[in-house]
Amino acid sequence: WDSRVKEHFWLSPDTRVTIELFYDRLHVDDREKTRLAIETAIGEHSQYDIEYRTVSPEGKVRWVRAIGRGFYDKDGNPTRFDGVTIDITRNKALEAELREALERVRFMAESMPQKIFTANAEGQVTYVNRQWTEYTGLSRAELDGNKWTKAIHPEDAPENLRHWEECVAKVASFECEHRVRRSDGVYRWHLTRAHPMRDVSGEVVTWIGSTTDIEEQKQAEVTLEKTVAERTAKLKETIGDLEAFSYSVSHDLRSPLRAMQGYADELLNEASQALSPTHRNYLERIHRAASRLDRLTQDILSYSKLSNAEIHLHRVDVSKLVHEIIEQYPHLRDSEAKIEVREPMHDVIGNEAFLTQALSNLMNNGIKFVAKDQRPELSIYTEEREGCVKIVVADNGIGIERRHYDRIFQIFGRIHPDSKFPGTGIGLAIVKKTAERMNGSVGFESEYQAGSRFWIALQKAT
Ligand code: ADP
């Protein structure tokens, strides 16, 4: 009350004149109801609490809230009347502004295609627009408070209400997708969003929400998902067929190829003296070409086998595996390369055979793609991040130019001619495929002419 208390008046039965003057000061429209309220309170010996307008001699109107009560002698006659009045002009103006703002919102809401609603700070729906009542066939009274949940699919309503109450409590924007029942009983998918509107002091004045029919988008999504699933299945089938095809082709190619290699060998061993240097050179070329074709068919075979091979994933001791690979592969063991295995290494979830193939390919490349006059240096180590382990093979080789980045993991994606760095261009495609089959991924960083870091990322074994 404090500073807003404007007057304190005291009345006794002989100050009737004063009270008449008081009524004269009131707005004509408020005089009768104020008089009635005061007289009723006196008659009933009760308190009154009323709002009215006062008009100053200059004609200035102010809103006032008055609370008062009378005191009575033992015969029930009023002896005194105490009351306080508070100037509420500003509150009234704010209320009117708010009412107008809400009216405007509602007016706009009625003319929109969406279903619009408002709710109070407690989350109780206070208004729904015509689109809500027309769509659901329910009246406003049937949708207010928490009754709107009746129009929501029973499978969605409890969760929607829980989420709504949570957002109201936290004063956080609300969003959900749910099925709303049309008047004919058909449910259609809708997207509902609501935002709190605050006053200057930060208090929530109202929530304003919209509900949009998204049934068609939903249907389109379902159709799209179905189409994608069907196409993926077909594509997988085609890839499977192609891989089976390349497997059998490569397989069948190998026996005539062996015959070519074998006879060329025989000729070189047994008849090379009888051949002219040119013819001998031709024969050596045939032999080299046959060997290269053999390597190619073998690599294609390995690649196609990867897709169909059964794979069992288990814990793999990476450190042990790397040492075994170095021991087993003579060109790694006996090469002049400096190979450093940085311990400790993290174990991964993978498959030993697949990982052996992948890591040996990476290590071979690391040694192979080095400038002629440079001693190859390999560093193998692991890095752990967020449950994932990267097995890194870093080299001091020729590096890769940025423009070739996209090609190198593709099958036959080679950069250099076979004469400079022999190979088939399938090694990294195999690394990628093995990593994918072990639910992992591959990648690299490289600096042209200053080395590369290739890695396979797999799930960490705990
Ligand atoms: P291949 O080794 O048989 O050529 P890969 O699939 O293993 O085939 O590699 C594809 C290409 O990627 C290579 O031809 C080479 O150009 C490049 N490459 C792979 N590893 C490295 C590396 N460690 N350093 C530089 N280039 C590399």
Contacts of 403 (CB under 8 A, 6+ apart): none
pLDDT at residue 25 tops 90: no
What is the CA(415)–ligand 1 centre distance, in A? 7
Q: Please tell me which of 17-26, 42-51, 90-99, 208-217 the model is most confident about, judged by mean pLDDT.
A: 208-217
Cβ(437)–Cβ(306) under 8 Å?
Answer: yes
The H-or-E segment that residue 3 falls in is none
What percentage of the chain reaches a pLDDT higher than 90? Answer: 56
In the prediction, which pLDDT does 38 show? Answer: 84
Q: What is the pLDDT of residues 73-112, one digit of tens each?
A: 888 777 777 888 889 999 999 888 888 988 888 888 888 8
Chain-centroid distance, C-alpha 308: 33
Query: To 10 degrees, the CA torsion angle through 398, 403, 406, 412?
Result: -60
pLDDT at residue 273 tops 90: no
pLDDT at residue 216 tops 60: yes
Phi, psi of 151 (to 5 degrees): -85, 0
In the prediction, which pLDDT does 301 show? Answer: 81
The token duo for 322 is 């790397």
Q: Which atom of ligand 1 is nearest to the CA of 398?
A: 25
In the prediction, which pLDDT does 300 show? Answer: 81
In terms of Cβ atoms closer than 10 Å to its own Cβ (0-12, 13-18, 19+), residue 298 is middle
What is the CA(408)–ligand 1 centre distance, in A? 6
Which residue, judged by its Cα, is nearest atom 13 of ligand 1?
Answer: 414
Which of 300, 331, 357, 365 has most ligand 1 atoms within 8 Å of CB, for mutation?
365
Mean pLDDT for 304-317 is: 87
pLDDT at residue 62 tops 60: yes
Query: To 10 degrees, the CA torsion angle through 357, 358, 361, 364?
Result: -100
**More confident site: 56 or 15:** 56
pLDDT at residue 15 tops 70: no
Assign 380 to helix, strand or coil.
strand
Torsional sign, CA 384, 389, 394, 400 = negative
Mean pLDDT for 149-178 is: 96
**If pLDDT is split at 50, 70 and 90, which confidence band does 18 have?**
low
Cβ(264)–Cβ(290) under 8 Å?
Answer: yes
What would the DSSP string read from start to end of 155-199? TTHHHHHHHHHHHHHHT--EEEEEEEE-TTS-EEEEEEEEEEEE-
Q: What is the pLDDT of residues 220-272, one digit of tens each?
A: 999 999 999 999 999 888 878 877 787 788 788 888 888 888 998 999 899 88
Which residue, judged by its Cα, is nearest atom 19 of ligand 1?
Answer: 365
Residues with a CB atom less than 6 Å from ligand 1: 361, 365-366, 369, 395, 397-400, 408, 413-416, 423-429, 452
Query: To 10 degrees, the CA torsion angle through 84, 87, 92, 93?
Result: 180
**Could you tell me the pTM of the whole model?**
0.53
In the DSSP assignment, the letter for residue 116 is E
**More confident site: 82 or 46:** 46
Q: For all residues of the chain together, what is the average pLDDT?
A: 89
pLDDT at residue 10 tops 90: no
Mean pLDDT for 128-155 is: 94
Mean pLDDT for 341-345 is: 96
Which residue, judged by its Cα, is nearest atom 25 of ligand 1?
Answer: 399
The answer to which of 9-23, 26-40, 427-441 has the lowest mean pLDDT is: 9-23
d(CA 261, CA 377): 35
The token duo for 81 is 């009347």
Rg over CA atoms, the chain: 44
Q: How many of the other CB atoms lie within 10 Å of CB of 444?
A: 18
Helices 28-44 + 16-25 axis angle, to 10: 140
What percentage of the chain reaches a pLDDT higher than 70? Answer: 96
